[in-house]
A and B are shown apart, each in its own frame.
Chain A
Amino acid sequence: MFDLFREMLSYPFMQRALLVGILVSLCAALLGVSLVLKRYSMIGDGLSHVGFGALAISTALGWAPLAVTIPVVVLAAFLLLRMSESSKIKGDAAIALISSSALAIGVITVSWSSGMNTDVNNYMFGSILAMSREDVILSVILSILVLILFVVFYTRIFAITFDETFAKATGVKAELYNMLLAFLTAITIVLGMRMMGALLISSLLIFPALTAMRVCRTFRSVIFCAAALSIICFLIGMALSFVVSSPAGATVVVVNLIAFLLFSLIGRRKA
């Protein structure tokens, strides 16, 4: 096991992928708990598709991918949040509309600029070769920012997740913290999507939270458990994909699925 990781770490692209992957897995797991409990899971999925569209266009035009994609996805996150809070438009339908539109525009852009080949495949399902040195630095800074903001506002996030009405009544600016949550989620998705792929990144948000909730009974323990699970599943997934040369993102998702099934069994035993 130890030798395996040492061998993996001898490749610079693997070092980058592991570093960014661990940080993004951690952010995704923490935010995911709140998203799942607030019934916002679909927002993660919608955002990753918007990210795909933005990434495709920025690559085609030769712009810096992260610098363009992050603001676009943050904007989309605020928009989706407004929609799911407004009673006039059905939130889930709006998300489906936006995400498939962004996906379609992205696919057309990619096929015009480079032909439908490996690029689309990489965007959709991720590639561990995608990260450049500059991307890694930006990713590390941003994911640490996400972690710090989450820890600082942990009690507020608990309050708006558990009972938004009560939080508002006691003077907590719930809209502000919902925006914060959407903002952090948007950043996390963009950072993770090139490695995990646009179609798979939302699983990184949802799976650890759901898995942890099978067994854990308090909010704090769910958070810690989800964080640990997310990192462990990511590392196991990367090692597996390295050994059997399977796509990294998909392997991580499958490992998460196995963990979920295992925890479901344990949870049912306990109950």
Chain B
Amino acid sequence: MALLTCNDVSFAYEGTPVLTDVTFSVSSGDYLCIIGENGSGKSTLVKGLLHLKAPSGGTITTGDGLKHNEIGYLPQQTAAQKDFPASVYEVVLSGRQNRLHFPPFYTREDKKDALQKMELLDLLPLKKRCYRDLSGGQQQRVLLARALCATRKLLLLDEPVTGLDPVMTEEMYQLISRINREQKVTVLMVSHDLKNILPCATHILHLDQKQLFFGTTEEYRSSEVGKEFLGGIRHV
């Protein structure tokens, strides 16, 4: 059964449609890459999947025991976060928010899980460091650990390599692939960095205010849309 299914979903801002006819599903273990130009509706779709914006039509359903608040989300960084006084541990632990009931205090289990996720991403030596003192790549790793705390099944990454240098970008992609393979975590990634993504992704969803393509990466390579888009990249 699919983890996440979008059936003929569309979104609109104040009555103006920005994204229509999106139909796709993600199964356990998939690595789906959502691509498209700026303004193609990628970010809107992300908001919809996270239940931050209601679709104007169609349905988004989760299955396989995934609750809609159990999607591990790695947001694009905001300016406010960058000078925030918080330790790495505090940030990672806050990923467990969706497990808390009343009163919302972290249990020993929450703390153990946060430490495990930090170990997985080599963050333990940075545990007490201040988030704002870290490099861009380290900050992304912290946010990735937080996202992993929020989910066991599905990661949703919104342009995770923005602002990273080529070396850190490569490391980030390897890390995400490793999590996908070893932790059996399904990955949904928004990106326009198709060149680096294509070898990792199993499925592609190409948007341009409507759905242009959905299918496996192999199908995409031989499709009209894919050929045109990939050809365009090669020329750059």
Contact = CB atoms under 8 A, between A and B. Distances in A.
Nearest to A177: B104
A1 to B, nearest CB: 32
A168 B100 contact: no
Interface in A205-226: 213, 216-222
Contacts, number: 88
B130 A217 contact: yes
A258 B199 CA distance: 58
B98 interface: yes
Interface string A142-174: 000000000011011011001101111111100
A168 B73 CA distance: 10
A219 B97 contact: no
Given A37-B84, A156-B104, A218-B90, A168 B97 contact: no
Contacts of A169: 50-52, 69, 71, 73, 75
A37 B81 CA distance: 9
B81 A163 contact: yes
Nearest to B150: A170
A159 B80 contact: no
A171 B67 CA distance: 10
Chief secondary structure at chain A's binding surface:
helix
B146 interface: yes
B94 A153 contact: no
B73 A158 contact: no
A155 B97 contact: yes
Contact of A172 (B85, B91, B98): B98
A57 B21 CA distance: 58
Interface string B82-119: 00111100110011011010011110000000000000
A153 B50 CA distance: 23
Interface string B13-33: 000000000000000000000
Given A155-B94, A159-B94, A218-B130, A168 B87 contact: no
B52 A162 contact: no
A256 B133 CA distance: 26
A218 B86 contact: yes
Given A155-B100, A159-B94, A220-B90, A166 B84 contact: no
Instruction: Name the interface size band of chain B.
Output: 20 to 34
Contacts of B75: 163, 165-166, 169
Nearest to B67: A171
Contacts of B129: 217
Contacts of A170: 69-71, 73, 95, 97-98, 150
A133 interface: no
B128 interface: yes
Nearest to B133: A217
Contacts of A217: 85, 87, 129-130, 133
Interface in A249-264: none
A162 B91 contact: yes
Contacts of A162: 81, 84, 86, 91, 94
Nearest to B69: A171
Nearest to A37: B84
Contacts of A155: 94, 97, 100, 104-106
A39 interface: yes
A162 B85 CA distance: 9
Contact of B85 (A153, A163, A219): A219
A156 B84 contact: no
Contacts of A218: 85-87, 90, 128, 130
B101 to A, nearest CB: 11
A91 to B, nearest CB: 14
Contacts of A165: 52, 73, 75, 78
A259 to B, nearest CB: 17
The 6 A-B pairs with the shortest beta carbon distances in the complex, nearest first, are: A171-B69, A217-B130, A218-B87, A170-B98, A169-B50, A219-B86
Given A152-B104, A168-B50, A221-B85, 17 more contacts: A37-B85, A155-B100, A159-B97, A162-B81, A163-B75, A163-B94, A168-B52, A169-B52, A169-B73, A170-B71, A217-B87, A217-B130, A218-B85, A218-B87, A219-B85, A219-B90, A222-B85
Interface of A: 37-39, 152-153, 155-156, 158-159, 162-163, 165-172, 213, 216-222
18 contacts: A37-B80, A38-B80, A155-B100, A155-B104, A156-B100, A158-B90, A163-B81, A163-B94, A165-B73, A166-B73, A167-B94, A169-B73, A170-B70, A170-B71, A171-B97, A217-B129, A218-B86, A219-B86
